[in-house]
């Protein structure tokens, strides 16, 4: 093998397959409101941390 073939093999990237599994919930109205609130607050905290990290 020459250097060009070695270099080409090193620079090729393999495609990664990422999967996601949904968790389906059937909450009542009270639980839905709590989950929406918690998810919204968690998103705000994450966005603030990204802002401060930059």
Question: How far, in Å, CA of 51 to CA of 54, rounded?
Answer: 5
Give the model confidence (pLDDT) of 1-54 as tens digits: 554 455 555 666 666 766 777 778 888 999 999 999 999 999 999 999 999 998
Q: Please, are residues 12 and 4 in contact by the beta-carbon 8 Å criterion?
A: no
How many degrees, rounded to 5, is the angle at CA 26 between CA 44 and CA 35? 20
pLDDT at 12: 65
The pLDDT of residue 31 = 94
Instruction: Say which DSSP state 34 is in.
Output: H
Domain limits, the chain? 26-54
- Rounded CA-CA distance 25/38 in Å is 15
What's the pLDDT score for residue 41?
A: 96
pTM: predicted TM-score of the whole model, two decimal places: 0.52
| pLDDT at 24 (0 to 100) | 81
């Amino acid at each position: 093998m020459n250097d060009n073939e070695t270099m080409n093999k090193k620079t090729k990237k393999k495609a990664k397959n990422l999967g996601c599994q949904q968790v389906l919930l059937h909450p009542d109205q009270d639980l839905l409101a709590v989950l929406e609130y918690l998810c919204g607050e968690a998103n705000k905290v994450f966005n603030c941390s990204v802002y401060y990290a930059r």
